[in-house]
Amino acid sequence: MLRPGITRERLAGLCALGVLLFSPSLIGIFDRGGEVTFFGVPVLVVYIFGVWTALIIVAAVLIIRRQRNIQDHIELEED
């Protein structure tokens, strides 16, 4: 079982990672003014939506896993 607060710490770390990934210096690497495309879509758009999607998926996995651990713990106490 996870120790209390570990999910909160991981979500805070995920938030910090999101701030880093959306920082102007890192976004500037992918900003090529539409000259470079990925299947016709500018690389900057692919980067922004890709990072955004990845952050949402990781946050959902962390929360769902925590809920399952809590539910398993409750079921063990009932037996």
Residue 11 belongs to a domain: yes
Please, which pLDDT band fits residue 61 given cuts at 50, 70 and 90? very high
CA 43 to chain centre: 20
Beta strands in the chain (DSSP E): 37-38, 41-42
Residue 37 belongs to a domain: yes
Structure tokens given for 72: 């398993």
Taking the complete model, does pTM exceed 0.85, yes or no? no
* Residue 52: domain span: 6-78
For 3-52, what is each residue's pLDDT tens digit? 667 888 999 999 999 999 999 999 999 888 778 888 999 999 999 999 99
Number of structural domains found in the chain: 1
Say whether pLDDT at 76 is over 80.
no
